[in-house]
Amino acid sequence: MILPVLLLAALVAPAAASNGHLTVQTRTGIFTGLLNPEFPSVREFRSIPYAQPPVASRRWLPPAPLPSSNQSHYATSFPPACSQYVSSKSTVFGNIVPEFFIWDGNENSTAGLMAQASSEDCLQLAVWTPANASTSNLPVLLFMTGGAFKTGGINVPYQLPASWVSRTQSHIVVTINYRVNIMGFPNAAGLDDQNLGILDQRAALEWVHENIHHFGGDPAAITLWGQSAGSISTDFHTYAWHDNLIARATFSQSGTALKPLDNKDHTHTNFTFVAKHMGCDFPHNPAAELDCMRQVSVNRIENFVGQYLDAGSTPSLVFTPIADEKIIFSDYPARAAQGLIANTPAIMSNCANEAVALYPFPSTNVTAGPWQPGVNAVTLKDWLCVTANTSIVRHNAGRKTYRYQYAGNFSNVSPFHWMGAYHSSDLTMNFGTYPDFRGVGTPLEKRTSEVMQDYLLAFARDPVQGLERMGWQAFELNAGDGGFIKRFGADGLAEQDVTGMEVQGACWGEGTYDPFP
C-alpha cells in the first residue's frame, strides 16, 4: 500500500503547487486565475473587483473602495462589461470588424439592445502576467479601452494581450472596465460628481498601485495607456492628478484632452429628459428625480437612450465627460502653461486613415468605401491636428513627448483596401492579435507588430531614456520640419522616421494630407 500512496502524493504535489502559483492574495481578496489555454506561459486573472458594485443606492455615485478581505474567488471568467447599448446602425465596427466590440461568444454586433454581456455590477479588472512572475518586479501597463465613452470593456477579442505577454515574458498588462454613457457620465442635477467613469479609472489605478506587487509587478513602474476614449481619458488624468498621477508614464493612442468635449449640457436637461420618459418627472426636485431613477431597471434606461439615438431623434442626447473644473477642465493649454500637468513622459499616436471607421458607412456600396476627402477632413480636424496641438502644448510645458503614426494596411485587419490604417487598427499590432480572425498575416505585419511591441515595452521599462536608446527621438519643435514622428507599417517597412510636417503639415495649410503613405 505504501507505493500507491507515494505515487498519489507525487501526482498531487505538482497540481497543488501549480494551483498555488495561480492563487494570489491581495488586500481585497484571494484570487485564483488560470493559465491561458493557448499560451500556457501566461497567467490570467480575468475578473478582480477594484471597487464596490455601483448598484442600487450606489448607482451614479463615485466608486467606493473595497474593504480588506480574505475571501477566496475564482478569477477564471471575464466579467460583464459596464452597461452599454449595441447600436443597430451600420458601421465599420458593427458590420466589418466586430472584434473591436465586447464579446461573450454570442453577441449580436448590431442588436439595437443593451449588450447581453454588460451589467451595472462591472467595476472589475483583468491581469495578465508571465507564469513565473510571482516574485518578479515587472513593468505594468494599465490599458483603458475606447468606445466613445459609450461602449467598451475587458473582453474585446482584439484587445487581449496573452500572446504579447507570452512573447516577452517580461511585463504585465492590466485591462479595466469603467462606467460609460448615462451610467458613467449622467450629468444629473442631483449629483455632486458627474464624471464617474473617469473616477472609476482612477480607482482601478489606485487598486493596481496597491496590489500589483502580489502579481509580480512593480507599483513604481506603471504606464497608464488608453485608446480613443481611453486615450482621451489618459490625458485627462495627467491634468486631474497632475501632482499625484501614480503612473510614471502615459500612452495616449488616438485622442488627447484637447479634443473638444461633446457634452456642453450644463443645465442637466439630457438626464431630466430621460428621467421624464422613465416616469420620473420631477423637473424642480433633483433629489426626487435621482431617487426615482435609481429604481428604474438599467435595461430600460439603456434601451431608451440607445434606441432614441439610433432613430436620429431630436433633441440629441449626450452622456460623455463634461467640464466640471475638478476632473475635466475647459482650458487645457492654460493649465499646462501654469504647470498643472504631470511631469511624466508620454507617447501620443494616430492612425493614417483614422476617421474612415467613424465616417458614415456606405452599407449599399461597401467595396467602394466612403468619400475619402470627407474622411481626410475629419481625420485632421478631430484627431491628427488635436494630437499635433497637444504635442506643442506639452513641448511648451517642458514635458517629453514621443509621436507615432500607424499606417499599416493589412488585409486580415482591413478587409477592404479603403479602410487602410483606421481608428483602432493599431491595437492589433500592440496586442499581437492581428492573426486571430482572418489569417495569420504577412511577414511585414509580424515584423511591424513586434517592432511596435518592443518600443512600447522599452518605454514601460524606462520612460525617460528607453526609446531614445533605441533611436526614437522625442518630439521637438524644430524649425521648418514640425518635429520627429515614427511611422509604422508603410512603404514595405516596419518602421521609418519622418518629419512632423510630412504627417501633419496639412493642419497648418502645408501640402495635402496622405491617408495611405
**Residues that are catalytic:** 228, 354, 423
Amino acid at 345: P
Partners of 81 in the β-ladder: 118
Residue 457 near residue 170, CB atoms below 8 Å: yes
Residue 360 in grid coordinates: 458614415
Name, in order, each residue with C-beta under 8 angstroms of 469's C-beta and a sequence gap of 6 or more: 458, 462
Angle, helices 229-240/196-211, rounded to nearest 10 degrees: 80
Cis amide prior to 315 (ω within 30 degrees):
yes
Distance of CA 169 to the CA centre of its chain: 22
Q: How far apart are the first and last CA of the chain?
A: 74
Q: What is the CB neighbour count within 10 angstroms for residue 29?
A: 19
Residue 253: helix, strand or coil by DSSP? strand
**Residue 87 vs residues 113, 188, 265, 311, 359: alpha-carbon distances, Å:** 7, 24, 23, 10, 15
* Beta carbons within 10 angstroms of residue 149's beta carbon: 26
- Helix count (H) and strand count (E) of the chain? 16, 18
- SS3 state at 25: strand
- Least Cα distance to 413 among 398, 395, 426 occurs for 426
SS3 108: coil
Report how far residue 62's alpha carbon sits from residue 198's, in angstroms, rounded to the nearest whole number.
9
Paired sense of beta strands 138-144 and 172-176, if any: parallel
Where in 36-88 does DSSP place strands (E)?
42-49, 72-74, 81-82, 85-86
> What residues contact 314, with CB distance under 8 A and at least 6 apart?
none
State the Cα–Cα distance between residues 60 and 413, nearest whole angstrom: 37
Tell me: cis bond preceding 157? Omega within 30 of 0 counts.
no
CA pair distance 218, 425, nearest whole angstrom: 29
| Calpha distance 199→190 (Å, rounded) | 18
